Amino acid sequence: MQSSTQQLLIIGYVWPEPTSTGASVRMMEWVDLFLQKGWLITYVSAAAPAEHMADLQSMGVKCKPIEVNSSSFDAFITALQPTVVLFDRYLMEEQFGWRVEKNCPQALRVIETIDLHCLREARHAAFKQGSSFENLDVFTETAQREIASIYRSDVSVLISNYEMDLLVNHFKVDASLLHVCPFMLDAAKHTDNLPNFDTRQHFMTIGNFRHAPNWDAVLWLKQSIWPLIRQQLPQAQLHIYGAYTPPKATALHNAKEGFLIKDRADDVNEVMQQARVCLAPLRFGAGIKTKLADAMPNGTPSVTTTIGAEGMFYGLPWGGAITDEPQTFADAAVQLHQDSQAWAQAQEAGFTILKSVFDKKTNGENLMKKITSTQENLAQHRKQNFIGSMLRYHANRSTEFMSRWIEAKNSNA
């Protein structure tokens, strides 16, 4: 099958807003990769259009709104006949997977997990309870739903090796159903023309305020970490950028304390290159943290936590510091801000991680190989996935009947 005849259908949880969320950045990576390979791409979503959504159509992507619990999707996908269907998170597989299988049985079904929702939720629950997180905590109803979707699909793409290990070694998911693809970043972006230590100033952080780990990080900075930094650097400023800034975040703005809420950043690269150090004190969450990935090609050292750096550096020296204690976090931030030699070493370490873990060409080629090789052996691949066929037989039927019941109810309303 030639790549020019391939057609990718992306069923989006939302219309991508790459200036707002890391998940949208990830979906745009898929779009860029497959457009470069000459594939035809159609992007659909049942979500309402958003003000800051990407202009996919100008890139050559066909876009179409769809409805949930509606047989109109059946007619649409039957006419389209995509060769690969990408579900944006397991929730889209739950809603549309059975319709894809019924109307396009030969289409490869792929989930972009973004991050493991069950892991993120379990860590958040443990944090709120003030307890230490254990891997057994992740055995929840969300995990049952998410891993059932993984089994029902042909390939599930994970963004970190940590989550691969969790699925294989704790949930006993067959590794043949999984593929790790970290962010696909352009290592050539960093050049000698990046602003140097002397032309940068202040600290920064960035993240969608609707994402609970980001909001908690801002609160931890405000209450514990930033006062410790200001004790050592009384004139320092922390510039905090984030989409969908709520009043509770705006209320934290305090110019006298150098704690500055800046709202949305239209260009993350610009604000990263202006800053000397990126701070990311994340206490729960999952997946790869976009702010830390963005910092590397912009030559901005970062201070983060164990969870923040998880799955990002593969044993290489971190491009800054990793610590879970407020005082050591503050001390590391101050050192990077004041010591040009330590700052330069951290910058180079970030460049090394960028090339080794996040190389766009390597990760993109490996992802394409996984998809095309699974396509070529799809019948055998599915025969070996007995648990998946069993779950499709039982779970998909119940999902189908519920969807049909909702559709019938709506039509009679």
pLDDT digits (tens, 9 = 90+) for 59-100: 999 999 999 989 999 999 999 999 999 999 999 999 999 999
Which of 102-106, 192-196, 340-344, 405-409 has the weakest average pLDDT?
Answer: 405-409
Q: Among the three residues 357, 372, 392, which one is the final residue of a domain in this structure?
A: 357
- The H or E element that residue 288 is part of is none
Order of all β-strands in the sheet with 203-206: 259-263, 238-241, 203-206, 277-280, 302-304, 320-322
For residue 62, what is the enclosing H or E element?
Answer: strand 62-65
Token representation of residue 381: 């691949």
* Predicted confidence (pLDDT) per residue in 218-254, tens digit: 999 999 999 999 999 999 999 999 989 999 999 999 9
pLDDT at 410: 75
Distances (CA, A) of 210 to 119, 242, 276, 308: 18, 9, 26, 17
> What CA–CA distances, in Å, run from 81 to 36, 98, 411?
21, 15, 27
Residue listed under structure tokens 């060769």: 83
Range 23-30 average pLDDT = 95
- CA–CA gap between residue 114 and residue 100 (Å, rounded): 21
Provide the percentage of residues in the chain whose pLDDT is more than 70.
Answer: 94
346 lies in the same domain as 289: yes
**Closest C-alpha to 97, from 411, 379, 408, 393:** 393
Residue 154 and residue 204 in one domain: no
Mean pLDDT of the 144-171 span? 95
Secondary structure class of 116 (helix, strand, coil): coil
45 and 152 inside one domain: yes
Say if residue 149 is in the same domain as residue 274. Answer: no
- 144 and 85 co-located in one domain: yes
Among 36, 12, 18, CA closest to 111: 12
**Residue 224 and residue 135 share a domain:** no
* Span of 48-52, 104-108, 229-233, 323-327 with lowest mean pLDDT: 48-52
How high is the mean pLDDT of the chain? 93
Host domain of residue 117:
3-184+360-412
**23/171 same-domain check:** yes
pLDDT at residue 312 tops 70: yes
Q: Of 159 and 191, which is predicted with more confidence?
A: 159
Instruction: Provide the pLDDT confidence category of residue 19 given band limits of 50, 70 and 90.
Output: confident
Per-residue b or e along 258-297, where b marks 16 or more CB atoms closer than 10 Å to that residue's CB: bbbbbeebeebeebbbbbbbbbbbbbbbbbbbbbbbbbbb
Domain with residue 345: its CATH number is 3.40.50.2000
Overall average pLDDT of the 142-160 stretch: 96
Cα Rg of the chain, angstroms: 22
Residue 305 has pLDDT above 80, yes or no: yes
Domain termination site, one of 314, 332, 357: 357
Beta strands, E only, 113-250: 155-158, 178-180, 203-206, 238-241
CA distance 39 to 6: 5
317 and 211 assigned to the same domain = yes
Whole-structure pTM value = 0.90
Q: What are phi and psi of 112, to 5 degrees?
A: -95, 105
Structure letter (DSSP) for residue 75: H
Q: Are residues 173 and 196 in the same domain?
A: no
Q: What is the pLDDT of residue 191?
A: 61
Last residue of a domain, one of 357, 374, 402: 357
Confidence bin at 2 (pLDDT 50/70/90): very low
pLDDT for position 134:
82
Q: What is the pLDDT of residue 304?
A: 98
Confidence of residue 150 (pLDDT cuts 50, 70, 90): very high
Nearest residue to 96 (alpha-carbon basis) of 137, 55, 31, 44: 44
In the predicted model, is pLDDT for residue 130 greater than 80?
yes
**What is the number of structural domains in the chain?**
2
Which pLDDT tens digit goes with each residue over 340-396? 999 999 999 999 999 999 999 999 999 999 999 999 999 999 999 998 888 877 655
N-to-C CA span, the chain: 46
Judged by average pLDDT, the poorest of 14-23, 127-136, 157-166, 321-330 is: 127-136
- Regarding whether 29 and 114 lie in a shared domain, the answer is yes
- 352 and 385 co-located in one domain: no
pLDDT for 187 equals: 75
Rounded CA-CA distance 79/193 in Å is 50
- Does 288 lie in the same domain as 234? yes
Query: Residue 3 above 50 pLDDT?
Result: no
